[in-house]
Structure 1
């Protein structure tokens, strides 16, 4: 039986404008990096599949949110339908780090009584000489919030896949423990599809294009 994916997770990227959320997503989904990036207007969508463990494929639907205040009313409507969030700040801009708690608080309040699985991302680790946020500072903030911390660079393709894999695995482990479940009216986690279930007898038909994968 050709299994397209067992589960779909909706994950949202959060953080100030210019921290590099779009660059992370383009590197993760398409394996490309560009020094020039157009600012995100509202919300952009990306997708990629991961093999979380043997025989278990997870489809990630990734939402790239605009960091500017004027788009906040648009982006907040997407919080409730997300199961995971990457809180992204720029290691060379301390103000973006200072705003992480605000992003975390805003999202957490909007999704009550439910919770979201977070991971803290210190981006642009390749610009070490311009660094304004120490690793100790970032690790302490992550510890205070009870979440993981990973430093990434879309430009050098450092830890990009690892960040998404860690978040996806944390969500999957919570599902196995019964702490996250699919529920009516919520698209954060969806049960997967198989060709046999949808088209009995036509198991060789591919129902949708396979996700692009980064082989970097």
Structure 2
């Protein structure tokens, strides 16, 4: 029987509590949104298979919500991850400032050379924006990683962000010749939908 997928990639979402990590994962894996999620207890994961560069990639996306305030995300989860997504909330300056601490955690705990991606979530809440896109672009460039502004509510850039990380991991692992065009860090595909204003508060 043919295998259902060509590669299995483990991804890990990290970031402060309440930035919308759970909402992003559920939007990506199940294409649904609910702004009344309670904070995730422990570690949970969702699975979705995507087509990247002609390969079927099974993505196992781990959600660390509920642990970040205790900083108890174990080294095992970092080490097992092939891609790590750092998430902040564009309406919460502190969550953006803390990205530097999360970068430090990756450096200390993750495998060397793990692919990283920066996401500014809740970009549908433009009226409450506290973190300017330029600040995030600058941070992404400093670390040599890609950046997207996303909205789990309006679905803006969610699939694109996960797929771009899967593509980077695939190319790095030699899954395909790397002759295709690479977007520079700081790429943001779609402007956000400004009509939606409610937020996914816990994440």
1:176 alignment partner, SS class: coil
Q: How far is 1:110 from its partner?
A: 1.1
> Aligned-pair distance for 1:175?
1.0
Which is greater in Rg? 1
Question: SS where residue 62 of structure 1 aligns?
Answer: strand
How far has the Cα of 1:104 moved from its partner?
1.1
2:117 corresponds, among 116, 119, 137, to: 119
Distance in 2 between residues matched to 1:110 and 1:132, nearest whole Å: 30
Shift of 1:77: 3.0
Choose which of 117, 128, 131 in structure 2 pairs with 1:130.
128
Task: Check if 1:163 corresponds to 2:158.
Answer: no
Give CA-to-partner distance per residue, 1:2-40, whole Å, 9 cap, x none: 331111000000100000000000000001000101101
Q: Gaps spanning 5+ residues in structure 1: where? A: 179-216
Tell me which stretches of 4 or more aligned residues in structure 1 moved more than 4 Å: 67-71
Give the gaps of 5 or more residues in structure 2.
Answer: 177-203
Residue by residue over 1:127-169, the C-alpha shift from the partner in whole angstroms, topping out at 9 and shown as x without a partner, is 0000000010010000001000000001001000000000000
Deviation at 1:96, TM superposition (A): 0.2
Residues 141 and 67 of structure 1, relative CA distance in 2, 3 Å threshold: farther
Q: CA deviation at 1:67?
A: 5.1
Aligned-residue offset at 1:66: 2.2
Deviation at 1:57, TM superposition (A): 0.3
Distance 1:67 1:98 in 2: 19
Aligned to 2:44: 44
Contact kept, 8 Å, 1:14 with 1:67, in 2: the verdict is no
Deviation string 1:147-198 (CA, Å, 9 cap, x unpaired) is 00000001001000000000000101111189xxxxxxxxxxxxxxxxxxxx
In structure 2, the CA distance between the partners of 1:71 and 1:135, relative to structure 1 (3 Å rule), is same
Under a length normalisation based on structure 2, what TM-score does the superposition of the two structures give?
A: 0.82
For this pair of structures, how many residues does the alignment match?
Answer: 176
* C-alpha displacement of 1:102: 0.6
* Deviations, residues 98-138 of structure 1 (Å, cap 9, x unaligned): 000110111221125x2210010000000000000001001
Query: Which stretch of structure 1 is more off in the superposition, 117-126 or 65-74?
Result: 65-74
Q: How does 1:13-28 map to 2 (within 5 A)?
A: 13-28=13-28
Secondary structure at the counterpart of residue 73 of structure 1: coil
In structure 2, what is the equivalent of residue 210 of structure 1? none
Larger proportion of strand: 1
Q: Given the superposition, is the C-alpha separation of residues 11 and 25 from structure 1 closer, same or farther in structure 2, using an over 3 Å criterion?
A: same
Q: Which residue of 1 aligns with 2:82?
A: 83
User: Paired residue for 1:183?
Assistant: none
Residues 10 and 81 in structure 1, CA contact (< 8 A), matched pair in contact too: yes
Q: What CA RMSD, in Å, does the superposition of the two structures yield over aligned residues?
A: 1.6
Distance in 2 (CA, whole Å) between partners of 1:110 and 1:134 is: 29
CA distance in 2, matches of 1:88, 1:67: 14
